[in-house]
Amino acid sequence: MPRRHDPERRQRIIDAAIRVVGAKGIGGLSHRSAAAEADVPLGSTTYHFKTLDELLVAALRQANEGFAKAVAASGAFEDPRAELAGELAAMLGVWLAGERTGVELEYELYLAALRRPALRPVAAEWCQGLTDLLTARTDPVTARALVALMDGICLQVLLTDTPYDEAYTREMLNRLAAGTS
């Protein structure tokens, strides 16, 4: 039987892995569960992703695109006259107001890097990419601190189930950007 050409198979496996992690957590992801979710033979998952970490790296890269799209849609980095803190706070508000499962999934994959060293470079790419964007509007040290603050606020919202407070976020980002207390 000739081999069927399926150029979308790799992407379907990544999408399936993201759905499995969203439904069952990182612990529920295996080559077998991704194959079943993608409706592909088990061998396809191991062909495209030799290890589970390779599959997780691909899933994290794709999940990171969700926040990257929110950043790209924001005007925070294009207009030098725009209030940086206000733009960033609004951007976080839009992102956190979206599908909660997607935001939680991104953070679950991001935090999986604590136990899976193969994911660390991808998690660092997200932080560095955002820091690089912010450096166009502020110095590199402040940019890193702003990213850390936004990350912390997002984690607090997700972990405590408290509503996102845009005014508080804007105020804290302003303080940090201005170097005041």
What's the CATH architecture for 1-50?
A: Orthogonal Bundle (1.10)
Residue ranges of the chain that CATH labels 1.10.10.60 = 1-50
Q: Which fold has domain 63-178?
A: Tetracycline Repressor; domain 2 (1.10.357)
11: nearest Cα among 66, 68, 55, 50: 55
The number of residues making up the chain comes to 181
Structure tokens at 34: 């991704």
Residue ranges of the chain that CATH labels 1.10.357.10 = 63-178
- Distance, CA of 84 to CA of 90 (rounded, Å): 10
| pLDDT digit string (tens) for the chain, length 181 residues | 445 667 799 999 999 999 999 889 889 999 999 999 999 999 999 999 999 999 999 988 888 776 767 676 776 677 777 888 998 999 899 888 877 777 888 888 888 888 899 889 988 888 888 888 888 888 999 999 999 999 999 999 999 988 999 999 999 999 998 875 4
Residue 177 and residue 84 in contact, taking contact as beta carbons nearer than 8 Å = yes
Query: What pLDDT score does 37 carry?
Result: 95
Query: What pLDDT score does 4 carry?
Result: 64
User: For the whole model, what pTM was predicted?
Assistant: 0.80
Residue 91 and residue 146 in contact, taking contact as beta carbons nearer than 8 Å = no
